[in-house]
């Protein structure tokens, strides 16, 4: 007795979802009941294993790099990704690519279902397959949102869109703005290394909560890449903002209306970008978390209005050590920000690309500094420079509730999960700091932890 066939279509469609594409199509010959059941599958997923068979799976590394991702509510809608082939000859790779694309094309062409919930492709996709990719995206959007017969500029099918992520896509700012305004439930927008037609970008949304703009650019007439400048940001519900460009000068020129912002992550590449600290204190009254990457020499930023709610501050300093050898450099300017952050509890400072500087300066005592809340301070990329010692000694003396200050050599590069360290720390850096703190007159030396 065929008990499985007695199950409802809803249950059978879930069962079909776990089958490979090849096995899914084979179910159509089982009986009249099964002839069109495969078209009820509402979650379509295509990767090496279920399209080409498990024998080919080991020839592709498992790391996926998303390229186009739409999410409605909590369900993935469209994902196009890449897997890096390993130990694969060019002839073998081309054969697999062509066969994969041909099988997905055939499935999409013969699919007779009326609606699907998700569509995912996870394979090595290149510009040679762009025509097929465009057809798959069109199919997925039409099947999910029922867009058949609508004009390409009609965004009404995306009225329930919750998340949109675009990577390395050519965009027009006006087109993007019209799309955002037509998505009343859009909560998350991510733009990664997208090429814009114009240099300026405006984003306005009544629903957006999370925004990421990373490395977006335009091309000048002289064929030079220029960063896209976000000049107008009006998002009343925005909770987090991550904004990094190629040579971002800071946030000073952005017209913002984001009263609910609690977390911000941005870059500074020029001295004038230091005004971003005062800008954040003034424009983001509810800010609790701030991460800043700094790519320039630094002077003490002037902050008139304090950060009223800032609890976590992370600074990554990627500085030219050639410049550091030529200028009066220290880390005491960080105390200006700390002084303006009355409720700050954790401070992290990372010195990227560290180098030991032979010349030494006198260790100064900053008597005007004090802080009543900071408990944890972490400093990475240490090699035992004099300004590291100067900073630690002042913090120990004037941070009244400090529980621990951790010094270590580890730092990471941009967009990397790998940690680096300078061997100078292990050879002599730790010993230099230990030697300095052996003096019994050093206040709070028991709070220093050396990794």
pLDDT of residue 219: 86
pLDDT of residue 2: 59
In this structure, are 291 and 420 located in the same domain? no
In this structure, are 328 and 385 located in the same domain? yes
Residue 159 pLDDT exceeds 80: no
In this structure, are 320 and 212 located in the same domain? no
In this structure, are 169 and 304 located in the same domain? yes
In this structure, are 301 and 319 located in the same domain? no
% of residues, the chain, pLDDT over 70: 71
Residue 257 pLDDT exceeds 80: yes
In this structure, are 446 and 372 located in the same domain? yes
In this structure, are 167 and 306 located in the same domain? yes
- The larger pLDDT score, comparing residue 229 to residue 265, is at 265
Instruction: From 294, 310, 326, give the residue that closes a domain.
Output: 310
Residue 247 pLDDT exceeds 70: no
pLDDT of residue 275: 84
- Give the count of domains, the chain: 2
Residue 427 pLDDT exceeds 90: yes
Least confident stretch, 20-34, 134-148, 175-189? 20-34
pLDDT of residue 342: 93
pLDDT of residue 146: 55
Q: What value does the mean pLDDT of the chain take?
A: 79
In this structure, are 248 and 369 located in the same domain? no
271-303, pLDDT tens digit by residue?
767 788 989 999 999 999 999 998 876 667 788
In this structure, are 304 and 320 located in the same domain? no
Residue 371 pLDDT exceeds 90: yes
pTM, two decimal places: 0.74
The answer to whether position 117 is within a domain reads: no
Interval 75-88 mean pLDDT: 44
Between the CA of residue 101 and those of 76, 132, 249, what are the distances in Å?
21, 7, 44
The answer to whether position 350 is within a domain reads: yes
Residue 348 pLDDT exceeds 60: yes
- The larger pLDDT score, comparing residue 437 to residue 310, is at 310
In this structure, are 361 and 305 located in the same domain? no
pLDDT of residue 27: 57
The answer to whether position 139 is within a domain reads: no
Residue 69 pLDDT exceeds 50: no
Least confident stretch, 13-22, 233-242, 378-387? 13-22
Least confident stretch, 5-19, 185-199, 433-447? 5-19
- The larger pLDDT score, comparing residue 422 to residue 89, is at 422
Interval 428-444 mean pLDDT: 86
pLDDT of residue 367: 83
pLDDT of residue 211: 97
Interval 182-198 mean pLDDT: 91
Q: Which of 42-51, 217-226, 286-295 has the highest mean pLDDT?
A: 286-295
The answer to whether position 11 is within a domain reads: no
The answer to whether position 215 is within a domain reads: yes
In this structure, are 278 and 320 located in the same domain? no
In this structure, are 169 and 306 located in the same domain? yes
pLDDT of residue 83: 42
The answer to whether position 411 is within a domain reads: yes
Residue 395 pLDDT exceeds 50: yes
The answer to whether position 5 is within a domain reads: no
Residue 66 pLDDT exceeds 50: no
pLDDT of residue 12: 61
The answer to whether position 38 is within a domain reads: no
Interval 91-97 mean pLDDT: 61
Instruction: From 281, 310, 339, give the residue that closes a domain.
Output: 310
Residue 264 pLDDT exceeds 80: yes
pLDDT of residue 76: 43
Instruction: From 250, 278, 310, give the residue that closes a domain.
Output: 310
Residue 218 pLDDT exceeds 80: yes
Domain that holds residue 248: 163-310
320-333, pLDDT tens digit by residue?
665 555 556 789 98
Interval 77-104 mean pLDDT: 59
pLDDT of residue 82: 45
């Amino acid at each position: 007795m065929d008990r499985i066939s007695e199950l409802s279509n809803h249950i059978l469609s879930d069962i079909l979802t776990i089958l490979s594409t090849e096995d899914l199509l084979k179910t159509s010959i089982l009986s009249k009941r099964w002839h069109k059941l495969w078209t009820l599958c509402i979650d379509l997923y295509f990767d090496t294993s279920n399209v080409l068979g498990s024998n080919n799976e080991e020839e592709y590394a498992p790391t996926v790099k998303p390229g186009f991702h739409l999410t409605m509510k909590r369900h993935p809608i469209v994902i196009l990704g890449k897997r890096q082939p390993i130990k694969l000859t060019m002839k073998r790779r081309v054969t697999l690519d062509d066969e994969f694309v041909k099988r997905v094309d055939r499935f999409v062409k013969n699919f007779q279902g009326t609606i699907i919930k998700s569509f995912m492709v996870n394979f090595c996709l290149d510009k040679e397959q762009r025509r097929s990719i465009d057809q798959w995206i069109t199919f997925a959007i039409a099947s999910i949102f029922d867009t058949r017969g609508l004009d390409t500029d009609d965004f009404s099918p995306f009225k329930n869109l919750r998340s949109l992520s675009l990577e390395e896509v050519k965009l027009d700012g006006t087109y993007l703005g019209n799309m955002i305004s037509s998505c009343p439930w859009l909560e998350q927008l991510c733009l990664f290394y997208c090429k814009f037609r114009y240099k300026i970008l405006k984003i306005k949304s009544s629903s957006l909560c999370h925004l990421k703009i990373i490395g977006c650019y335009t091309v000048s007439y002289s064929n030079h890449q220029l960063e896209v400048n976000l000049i107008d940001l009006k998002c009343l519900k925005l909770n987090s903002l991550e904004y990094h460009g190629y040579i971002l000068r800071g946030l000073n020129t952005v017209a913002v209306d984001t009263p609910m912002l609690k977390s911000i992550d941005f870059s500074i590449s020029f001295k004038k970008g230091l005004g971003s600290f005062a800008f954040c204190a003034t424009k983001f009254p509810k800010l609790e978390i701030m991460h800043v990457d700094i790519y320039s020499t630094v002077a003490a930023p002037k902050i008139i209005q304090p950060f009223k709610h800032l609890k976590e501050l992370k600074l990554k300093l990627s500085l030219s050590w050639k410049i550091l050898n030529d200028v009066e450099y220290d880390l005491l300017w960080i105390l200006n920000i700390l002084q303006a952050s009355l409720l700050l509890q954790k401070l992290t400072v990372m010195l990227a690309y560290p180098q030991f500087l032979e010349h030494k300066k006198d260790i100064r005592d900053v008597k005007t500094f004090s802080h009543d809340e900071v408990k944890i301070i972490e400093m990475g990329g240490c090699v035992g420079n004099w300004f590291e010692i100067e900073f630690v000694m002042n913090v120990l003396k004037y941070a009244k509730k400090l529980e621990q200050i951790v010094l270590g050599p580890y730092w990471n590069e941009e967009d990397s999960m790998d940690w680096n360290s300078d061997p100078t720390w292990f050879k002599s850096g730790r010993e230099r700091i230990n030697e300095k703190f052996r003096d019994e007159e050093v206040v709070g030396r028991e709070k220093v932890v050396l990794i």
